[in-house]
Amino acid sequence: MSAERFQYAAPWWLPGGNAQTLWAALASRRHFGPAPRWTRSRWNTPDGDFIDVDQAQHAAPDGAPLLVLFHGLEGSSASQYAVAFADFAAVNGLAFAVPHFRGCSGELNHAPRAYHSGDFEEIDWVLRRFAREHPGRPLLAAGVSLGGNALMRWAAEMGESAGTVVRAVASVCSPLDLAAGGHAIGRGFNRLVYTRMFLRTMVPKALKKLEQHPGLFDRDALLAARNLFEFDNLFTAPLHGFRDTNDYWSRASAKPVLHRIRVPALALNARNDPFIPAVSLPTPQQVGTRVTLWQPLLGGHVGFPVSHGPLGVPGHVRAMPDAVGHWLLAQI
């Protein structure tokens, strides 16, 4: 286990976790060369549903690693961090893919379910299919926010057998303690900005799911939900086998099982992430010997914008994908 620090310095005029988060999401430069182009495949799931998988079209030599990125809540291959990781993969000659969680590719999935933070069974199925289809490529996996928590849960659940599928895993700005993160995003500025942003897409998708499967949940109660706790209580938890939000957040969190991980694993969390209280982050004493903790003071939530030019204007967000990507490559 290592507690080494990711050396990140924020642009001088972009102080605070919210500024670093919002700039990265809305105004950052995500790639140095051409924007990534994608080839989309539809994978039929074992339960009769489907997911859509985007694979970057750039060339990767035979035998080069395949990096699989699991996106965050309401994310996709168009998310700023996915584009930045695709750019890193192109520059370094890696194959790269973004599997979309159910309902996140632009088309609603069919089954009476969506996706959730502890969905390690879905992670397992996806990673094993990638391993079968690319037997000549070492497999690396990263997950951002929600996707990172689910990936770390998978690594912990699989134990020693995870090493037969992947060489290493990494989580980026993941709420490894879901209760701490869930309550934090439901308060103050977070509730006014981030909660509204997420619910703006999550509620309409849930209502479309209700049209597919009448009686699945209480429509009026869902429309009255004003935070993720209430949304998860009505939709996410019951649809995925949890008793309620508290049960979901408790059982799906990766933090309590990080000590069971037996493959090289990196957990990167900025200590000023507005979604994730620093006091909730795992300590070296709480993780296994294969887990590396990077907890820089700054960076925000999937932010890490870096400056360029004489004025130090915030520019690209490749600092984080570069650091995480090279850490993963070093584990092969």
Residues acting as catalytic residues: 145, 273, 301
Token duo for residue 5: 């620090």
CA distance 32 to 16: 26
**b/e burial code for range 66-76 (CB count within 10 A of at least 16 → b):** bbbbbbbbbbb
Crossing angle of helices 80-91/17-26, nearest 10°? 70
Query: Of all helices (H) and strands (E), which one includes residue 80?
Result: helix 80-91
E strand segments, the chain: 38-44, 50-56, 66-70, 95-99, 139-144, 168-172, 265-268, 291-294, 307-308, 313-314
- By the 8 A CB rule, do 320 and 299 touch? yes
Residue position matching structure tokens 């939530």: 301
Phi-psi region of 313 (alpha: psi -120 to 50; beta: other; left: phi over 0): beta
Other residues' Cβ atoms within 10 Å of the Cβ of residue 133: 12
CA distance 44 to 54: 14
The SS3 of residue 229 is helix
CA distance 225 to 208: 16
Task: Count CA atoms closer than 13 A to 320's CA, side-chain side.
Answer: 39
Token duo for residue 313: 């204007």
- DSSP one-letter code for 192: I
